[in-house]
Structure 1
């Protein structure tokens, strides 16, 4: 009896312990579920808060974008109006420049007589006396009495070639010559400006291969001869005279300048610049890279002898090109970021015109900056090369004044 009682007590005890164990397990699981529910509720609240903040941020962003779009439209409108005003101002400046002639002055001789304009009627005795003084005043180098007063019109013919190059017309014929690039041994010849303008590129031209390479867009064509610069590495600069009809070099002149010296800072490819006008052949150059000013040399077209040399006092800095008219050098300036080209410095070999007395003369705004400008004394026109475009500037001239 006693063992059965012990067995029953042991079994009851075991059942009671298991019940407590499972109850504890259930309590633990319930607590874990409650904890998970609390965390889920926390993350749900967090997600709801983030969603609300995202909606608010989206709303603020949308309002800011709408405000920026409105301000952008207003700014674009202001810029468009400013561009229109600038364009109108440039047109007005071009008109004023076309109506305004640059002033000029003459160097005082033994005595200087005032008169209002060239050719005013005065007494015959005074005219004879002043005529003698005039001959004495301008007898040294140039007999030409014209000065540039404005740009009458602009004609853009076409675009043939790269950004840098040169084109010109022989003053004694109708033939046109094109130099594409900054160096080479070939040039292209057209029978006339009309033939060149009607051609596609250089098609229809006569290709002329030279016996040596030309350096820089500073060549000149004058009276059937081509004058070009030849310069190899570590050698002196040479001016070459080439007979276009005979197809041969007729003369070479050495010119002692530094190999790294260039005449225009904005066009470093221009080693030197040859120019032809009513008085003959000129050479614009820089003796050394440390020389701040452009120098001018008068050359004999037949022998290439140097007749006279001047320091023009026109700085090389920001210069892009230059040309010579009646013994007067006109230096064209620009900026590193191309804007409107302007004639800012003059030099007259007879000292009848000084740069300080002449106002700025602006070129009509075009594509970039000039790689070259070549004057034709027969037509009184400039042949310009601007970013690959061939342009003709028709000039307005007037007589030099005594003041």
Structure 2
């Protein structure tokens, strides 16, 4: 397994270097023909595929249960009170930022947190639509966001600069009908974890309680839906880890805590005690107004947009195997019965 991981790492690094070199070569050409464009996209697609294998291998470590959240003591002033921040886990490392919470039609790319601090951007994408809220994510080189003044979610390919998919979420509350505590049009919130792409929202049919949906990241097809028993307006924010949603108690209390979890793997939910999983909700005890909270499954980090600051937190989890252990016990009992009959 170690040899396989080392070989995969070497392959990914090699392909990344080739892709980077190809992109640089392409940029130096004022006239780039269709064949070159196709070759570059094929290289990048292969790189993404290699990293897909990498993240799928990580799902072997699921299920995981969140144990603690701790500050990394990293904060980046960004000057705008509300916004969204994403580090694309596949192919990995790209930093993407949107500013504001309404009429968003630009997304900015940065090479590092340090360059974000000094606002030295790598590139800007003008979007052919407006996003709303702060719940956007970037996954596999695509932006997923809530389309402004609608109940639709949108996929935009950042490599090809192409608006690819648009799907309506039936009966979804929008435009501050069922937001998080902070408001700011946070009705529809995307999330990424080891299992892929999710969207968290609430509907009239759920009476405003949180609805969790597993999405096909390619087609935006709704694969499965779960309805929880906690009102969306009563939580500070939410994120997913290994198919489990965790909701914070407050977006502004210092500290706050995880007050509710819902496990899509078995349909179970928990109301947690105040001191079980503390979330600092700020760096260095500064005031808190946390408008965005997202998990990165490769880095095992939580990223927060906290009233003009991007903040970084680390999570600790532990494995549990309720299904595997039970299945093994059943098999052993059956084998004993067969031996007795023989």
Same-fold status (TM-score > 0.5): yes
How many pairs does the alignment contain? 256
- 1:153 pairs with 2:68: no
- 1:177 pairs with 2:96: yes
- 1:387 pairs with 2:302: no
Instruction: Report the structure number with the largest CA radius of gyration.
Output: 1
Distance 1:307 1:289, change over 3 A: closer
5+ long unaligned stretches in structure 2: 1-58, 326-342
Structure 2 CA distance for aligned equivalents of residues 351 and 318 of structure 1: 24
Does the CA contact (< 8 Å) of 2:240 and 2:246 recur in 1? yes
Structure 1 CA distance for aligned equivalents of residues 224 and 205 of structure 2: 21
> Shift in Å at residue 259 of structure 1?
3.8
Structure 1 CA distance for aligned equivalents of residues 206 and 199 of structure 2: 19
- 1:252 pairs with 2:166: yes
> Shift in Å at residue 351 of structure 1?
2.5
- 1:298 pairs with 2:298: no
Structure 1 CA distance for aligned equivalents of residues 75 and 309 of structure 2: 7
Deviates more, 1:324-333 or 1:258-267: 258-267
- 1:373 pairs with 2:293: yes
The structure that is strand-richer by fraction is 2
- 1:399 pairs with 2:319: yes
Aligned to 1:166: 84
Distance 1:352 1:212, change over 3 A: closer
Structure 1 CA distance for aligned equivalents of residues 239 and 318 of structure 2: 17
Q: What per-residue deviation string (whole Å, max 9, x for no partner) do you get for residues 318-363 of structure 1?
A: 312110010000011217x644222100000022763146763222
Structure 2 CA distance for aligned equivalents of residues 142 and 258 of structure 1: 35
Aligned to 1:85: none
- 1:280 pairs with 2:196: yes
After superposition, where does 1:43-62 map in structure 2 within 5 Å? Answer: none
Does the CA contact (< 8 Å) of 1:174 and 1:193 recur in 2? no
Structure 2 CA distance for aligned equivalents of residues 360 and 215 of structure 1: 33
Distance 1:271 1:378, change over 3 A: same
5+ long unaligned stretches in structure 1: 1-140
SS at match of 2:134: coil
TM-score, normalization by structure 1? 0.59
TM-score, normalization by structure 2? 0.69
Structure 2 CA distance for aligned equivalents of residues 360 and 258 of structure 1: 31
> Shift in Å at residue 401 of structure 1?
5.1
Distance 1:394 1:246, change over 3 A: same
Q: State the Cα RMSD in Å.
A: 2.5
Structure 2 CA distance for aligned equivalents of residues 269 and 218 of structure 1: 9
Structure 2 CA distance for aligned equivalents of residues 142 and 218 of structure 1: 27
Structure 1 CA distance for aligned equivalents of residues 80 and 115 of structure 2: 20
Q: What per-residue deviation string (whole Å, max 9, x for no partner) do you get for residues 217-247 of structure 1?
A: 0111111111111032xxx411111111110
- 1:350 pairs with 2:257: no
Structure 2 CA distance for aligned equivalents of residues 274 and 160 of structure 1: 22
Does the CA contact (< 8 Å) of 1:168 and 1:178 recur in 2? yes
